[in-house]
Amino acid sequence: MKDGWARQQAARFLRVSTIGPRLRVVQRMFEFTGLYPWQWTAAEGEAFIAELRGGSSPVLMSTARGYEVIITLFMEYLLDRRYGWVEECLSRFGDTPRAVFHEGNSVLHTVEYEGDPRRRPLTYDEVQALFDAADARPQRIRGQGRKGVLTSLRDAAVLKTIYAFGTRRTESSRVDLVDLRRNRKAPRFGGYGSMMVRFGKSSKGAPPKRRTVLLVPEMDWVVDVLDDYITQVRPQLSPGAHPALWVSERVGRLSPRSINEAFVAARQDAGLDESLDLHCLRHSYITHLTEFGYPARFVQEQVGHSHAATTAIYMGVSNEYRTTLLEASMRKRLGEDWDVVS
């Protein structure tokens, strides 16, 4: 059954990284119940989710829904008469698969965002503290006589570039040198006026989405960061003909996990909230571009979101920004003499 379901998903061009975790959820359900899929009932599904919610590390609501969706998709495959599992199970065991989750026992999707509420954009001061901590690591490592000065210089450049272009960690890992290009409308940025993201987050069964991220004037400081890394730091890592922008000390492409570890190290050195993660830099990019005054559509295209609602979820503008908008609106309506204090 699992092999057949895997083939069905592969035929839809779903990635191995999608199919594998789905099969593990089905296996986990099997191991929890001690029953075969044609024996599963709604009661087994409810007990499985209840178990996940208990203990010292209960799953998030979004995770529980994900498991319910996966098991539902698996059962829909078994119930599809075109695959013959209903007849096969009835013939062999006198029992047939049935729906496990339904509207009465599954998590309803009632709001747009159900992620960890602690995840938020960094303030401008927090971004600066993070970068200061990343910049201080090379000198500290050099003073201790340890290896890792070059890689810490690289890591600082990685984090700054992720913030300056609003990219995801996997997208950042897959960027090549040739993906950094000129923007003829902004020649002062040299060869760093835009970044071609060729491995953007894809929809299920679709190839990676492509987009071009334009460097905005407020982030022009990253030009010096990239130029210093490419001309001074990267050559010392001996990358040879490797095309990647970010290379490891073993002359390979820097992995998303290594990029995440670089953020964690800088966050700890800066004494920032432990609930902040690398993706919060993307939240920060969206929020700060909005506060800089860029139109919502431009921000949406910069980060590669298909829907404006998704971009809005990432946004966490400051009270000062909202107050400024309120003042501008009131002056437009009531005249320049309007005083927000009165």
Catalytic residue ranges: 168, 201, 279, 282, 305, 314
Residue 241 DSSP SS3? coil
Question: Which residues lie below 8 Å from residue 341, measured CB to CB, with a gap of 6+?
Answer: none
**Residue 146 CB neighbour total at 10 angstroms:** 10
**Residue 331 CB neighbour total at 10 angstroms:** 14
Distance CA 314, CA 284 (A): 8
Residues 6 and 18: beta-carbon distance below 8 Å: no
Residues 223 and 190: beta-carbon distance below 8 Å: yes
Instruction: Render 88-123 in DSSP notation, one character per residue.
Output: HHHHHHS--------TTTS----SS--S-TT--PPP
Tell me the two tokens of residue 163: 């913030």
Strands 194-200 and 209-214: antiparallel
- The residue type found at 216 is V
Distance CA 6, CA 16 (A): 9
Q: Which runs of E-coded beta strand occur in the chain?
A: 180-181, 194-200, 209-214
Measured in degrees and rounded to the nearest 5, phi and psi for residue 213 equal -100, 120
Residue labelled with tokens 């000065």: 149
Distance CA 37, CA 97 (A): 6
